[in-house]
Structure 1
Amino acid sequence: MDWRKLLKAAPTVLAVINIIIRIAAVVRIPRDRRPTSAMAWLVTVFALPIPGALLFLLFGSSKLPQDRRDKQSEINSFIVETTSGLDLVRQDATWPKWLESIVELNTTLGSMPLVGGNTAELLPDYAPSIAAMTRAVEKAERYVHVEFYILTRDDTTAGFFAALADARARGVIVRVLYDHIATLRHPYFAETKAFLRDADIPFREMLPFKPFRSSWRRPDLRNHRKVLVVDGIVGFMGSQNMVDPSYNKKGNIKRGLQWKDLMVRLQGPVVAGVNAIFVTDWYAETGELLTRETDPIHEVPTDNAIDCQVVPSGPGFDKENNLRLFNSLVYSAQKRLVIVSPYFVPDDSMLYAITTAAERGVEVQLFGCEVADQAVVYHAQRSYYDTLLDAGVRIFLYEKPVVLHAKHFTVDDDVAVVGSSNMDMRSFSLNFEVSLMVRGRDFVEKLRAVEDDYRAHSRELTIEEWKTRTVKSQVLDNVARLTATVQ
């Protein structure tokens, strides 16, 4: 073999490969991808053709293997066939004219209808929220379904895990799901698995990345849901992981960071919908389709009953269910829109919806944080502040060292959304999320009180202050924004 000839020809070969990669990128990358994401990928590939092409092959598709998508379609039919509480929805004088079309949208995309006859309790404080979930498990008689993005047994969560073990010991069926990569990265992961095994509690890792043992998928897909269901009677969902509020990370502890979240405790027909989320994910990970328990509907006081609709989203669905819901509600707002999202990195459609709402006279408020745990997302979010402030959006930054991790928003006086989903492109496309749309003025008033508490612990960012930030800060923000759109 003549190595000199090969070395001489190498530049020509590399040039041809680069041209082929660029042509293939122009043909393939824009297909079924939002323009901002396509442009970011094209810039990456054109700047570094071979490394960029390899990254695209690894991370370019958010679709799950076909067998998992088929399971989602199968479970959707199951959900539709076993839903109750539709007859308890109350379309009274407070029902917004625009709500019916959004309910239909959610049903079409996520298969779960709006159900009435529910009650909800807001749990905006970390320790009391864990205590409430622990009490519910202690009262379990038949089954406990646990699903958290991050699930670790530490000093803060030890009581909850003890309740799970006690329930299992007295014959209650206990099943546990947690995201594989998210939980793996946290301290006490090994100890948590050992505890579950010792307590004989069945558990599964969601979206495990084991490329040599199962179907290939991009490695950064996550199941970001937080759900607990006890006996089909009481359910919890929201933004809080089952872990210490410092997440037990040395960097967080050194900086004094503490997470603040919001969970909601539910009773009524909607609990079956929350349980269907667990049933779906359990089926996806185990192949075992659980028979949904037909618990009697417990009557709730008429004056406190609210209408609720569970909205699942994620790579198992063909559409970005949460993004479509959020945009529809933003465009429907007539008076006031308050958004709480720790990671706010919207796509163009959401940015236009929010700025348009502010420009047509809706009072729009956005809650973020003075401090953040993820530098890239923190700077990417800041890159949107110019556009938001110019449109008249009021931005409130929660005081450090607290990380306001709650995810919810309110629309006028009638409708609210709480759940696990951030308003960022990762939550729209790559994460499995679950949101709860609520119609009920009493519930909205209580959530407004939570927002008022946030405001009392926040400072408002003014456009004058923002215009004086350093050039270095502007560069970091804009670079982070570019990377955030590579989905």
Structure 2
Amino acid sequence: MTLATTLLLAHIVVGFVATVLISANRRPSAAIAWVLAIIFIPFLGAAFFLLVGVGRLPRRRREKQREVTEEILTRTDGLAQVSHREEWPGWLPSAVALNSNLGALPMVGGNTVDLIDDYTGSFDQMIADIDAARDHVHVEFYILVLDPATAPFFDALARAVARGVTVRVLSDHLSGLMFPRRKQTIEALRAMGAQWHAMLPLRPLKGQWQRPDLRNHRKLVVVDGRVGFTGSQNLIDSSYLKKKNVARGLHWHELMVRITGPAVRELDAVFITDWFSETDQMLPLDTTPVVLEPGADRLDAQVLPSGPSFDNDNNLKLYALAIHNAERRVSITSPYFVPDESILLAIVTAASRGLDVELFVSAVGDQVLVYHAQRSYYEALLRAGVSIYLYRSPTVLHSKHFTIDDDTAVIGSSNMDIRSFSLNMEVSVMVHGREFVDRMRTVEDDYRANSDKLELAAWLDRPVAQKVLDNLARLTSSFQ
């Protein structure tokens, strides 16, 4: 038997085995993409699949998630008290139950939720709250870099440690390797006395390994369990310190929320879960009974963690449910918009039902494949009646949120893309309140004023080369 024949037979066997194994418990579109890659890119396709297509988080990490979930569920009864249940839309109780069943965290009332859409202003507010810390500060960012823009934040952490405050910090391991100043950042944290750990570390020689594309994408800060921050912003300069970004003059626009009230401890429970996963140290969960403060401005809020440590795509299910139940308006902001089939169907269906549906994305992109993949969805959305607004360059609109009708909003770290639904660990907050959504509408109005509306005729007339690149990039989005 010749070498060529041997290789051909091996390729046929690998293709057959791959077809059987890959199809199990995988979306058909993803399975087909992987099988085609293995067939048409012999051996390299199989090697790539073994690297990023097989497996979930290690079993011990998933067991840790279940351990913390059980701890959360056995907390003192009466934590799930809300302020304005009588004002909820008819679909919201089922969404709250869904989130509770999937993420174990209740909807709680008595919260204030402030929006922060100023990049440096967000840091300034965090610094002010850290300077008032008395017991602990919990910091968790996908990207965490000490640079001139973030140095005041690090200085605030150092002042907190000097006062005797416990500072715990988590940052994603792989992202730390992809951005500059990693060594200086870690040395600064250790020198000040903060407790720092890498999330989802890739250290095979130390037995720390999982699919490298499974990342912790969360962004949150909790101070003394009384004030919390979350949203889209990483702890880094607004240019993200990449030479190409600086050369193009790109800078990132974000949206964060500052929360006070019972929802803060639910946000802290997400940090406690990740801390336990990385350190084996279980921090105490706050079980203090909720005492609701009266006031029309007190909001009901529910924190929803999601990611590969859970058995379900928590955020995907919430997003699909909310969009399908919208009655008047859906407004979506996502820098990386590569939707799951169910989300695309929900959005197109909402527009076809006559709802006012709009999507805010950036006119420019920092990730070539994702940028072109998301463009491949625009035609179907425009034909269905979705209004698409392209936020003008050189700003990258990095905010991640959506609003439903006049009273419900979801904001957090999750993009509306397949990666955030299935591969990344994310955290979102669902907020109910007419006044809060009014403030979100003001933010959306600002986006609209700084965007160009995409028209179907102009989009169909774009160069053929762009159409080809968009459609080819779309195929890569199915690899998961």
Same fold (TM over 0.5): yes
| Aligned residue type for 2:80 | L
Aligned-partner SS, 1:338: strand
| Aligned residue type for 2:239 | S
- Residue 281 of structure 2 corresponds to which residue in structure 1? 288
1:192-207 matched pairs, under 5 angstroms: 192-207=185-200
Q: Is 1:150 equivalent to 2:143 in the alignment? A: yes
Q: Is 1:278 equivalent to 2:290 in the alignment? A: no
1:55-454 matched pairs, under 5 angstroms: 55-82=48-75, 85-92=79-86, 94-294=87-287, 300-454=293-447
Counterpart-to-counterpart distance in 1, 2:17 and 2:332 = 40
Q: Is 1:465 equivalent to 2:458 in the alignment? A: yes
Q: Is the 8 A contact 1:21 1:49 kept in 2?
A: no
1:21-36 matched pairs, under 5 angstroms: 21-36=14-29
Q: CA RMSD in A?
A: 1.3
Q: 1:208 to 1:61 in 2, by over 3 A?
A: same
Counterpart-to-counterpart distance in 2, 1:228 and 1:476 = 39
Q: Which has the larger displacement, 222-231 or 242-251?
A: 242-251
Aligned-partner SS, 1:29: helix
Give deviations 1:62-97, integer Å, cap 9, x for gaps. Answer: 5111000000001111122236642234212x3101
Counterpart-to-counterpart distance in 2, 1:21 and 1:179 = 34
| Aligned residue type for 1:285 | E
| Aligned residue type for 1:159 | P
Q: Is the 8 A contact 1:36 1:347 kept in 2?
A: no
Give deviations 1:88-119, integer Å, cap 9, x for gaps. Answer: 34212x31011111111111111111111111
Give deviations 1:162-194, integer Å, cap 9, x for gaps. Answer: 000010011001000000111221112111111
Counterpart-to-counterpart distance in 2, 1:246 and 1:460 = 25
Counterpart-to-counterpart distance in 1, 2:380 and 2:252 = 28
Counterpart-to-counterpart distance in 2, 1:278 and 1:402 = 30
| Aligned residue type for 1:278 | F
Instruction: State the 1:293 CA deviation.
Output: 4.1
Counterpart-to-counterpart distance in 2, 1:265 and 1:433 = 17
Counterpart-to-counterpart distance in 1, 2:336 and 2:74 = 36
| Aligned residue type for 1:404 | L
Q: 1:229 to 1:243 in 2, by over 3 A?
A: same
| Aligned residue type for 1:305 | R
Aligned-partner SS, 1:167: helix
Q: Is the 8 A contact 2:134 2:224 kept in 1?
A: yes
Give deviations 1:386-425, integer Å, cap 9, x for gaps. Answer: 1000100000000100000000000001110000000111
In structure 1, runs of 5+ residues without a counterpart are: 1-7
| Aligned residue type for 2:405 | D
Q: Is the 8 A contact 2:109 2:292 kept in 1?
A: no
Q: 1:293 to 1:115 in 2, by over 3 A?
A: closer
Counterpart-to-counterpart distance in 1, 2:81 and 2:288 = 17
In structure 2, runs of 5+ residues without a counterpart are: none
Q: Is the 8 A contact 1:89 1:114 kept in 2?
A: no
Aligned-partner SS, 1:390: helix
Q: Which has the larger displacement, 350-359 or 11-20?
A: 11-20
Q: Is the 8 A contact 2:232 2:412 kept in 1?
A: yes
Instruction: State the 1:280 CA deviation.
Output: 0.4
| Aligned residue type for 1:252 | N
Counterpart-to-counterpart distance in 1, 2:75 and 2:149 = 37
Q: Is 1:486 equivalent to 2:466 in the alignment? A: no
TM-score by length of 1: 0.96
Counterpart-to-counterpart distance in 1, 2:244 and 2:288 = 45
- Residue 5 of structure 1 corresponds to which residue in structure 2? none
How many residues matched? 479
- Residue 15 of structure 1 corresponds to which residue in structure 2? 8
- Residue 4 of structure 1 corresponds to which residue in structure 2? none
Identical amino acids, percent of aligned pairs:
51
Counterpart-to-counterpart distance in 1, 2:430 and 2:400 = 12
Aligned-partner SS, 2:188: helix
Instruction: State the 1:297 CA deviation.
Output: 5.4
Aligned-partner SS, 1:413: coil
Aligned-partner SS, 2:205: coil
Counterpart-to-counterpart distance in 2, 1:345 and 1:338 = 16
Instruction: State the 1:49 CA deviation.
Output: 3.0
Counterpart-to-counterpart distance in 2, 1:102 and 1:61 = 31
TM-score by length of 2: 0.98
Aligned-partner SS, 2:346: helix
Aligned-partner SS, 1:196: helix
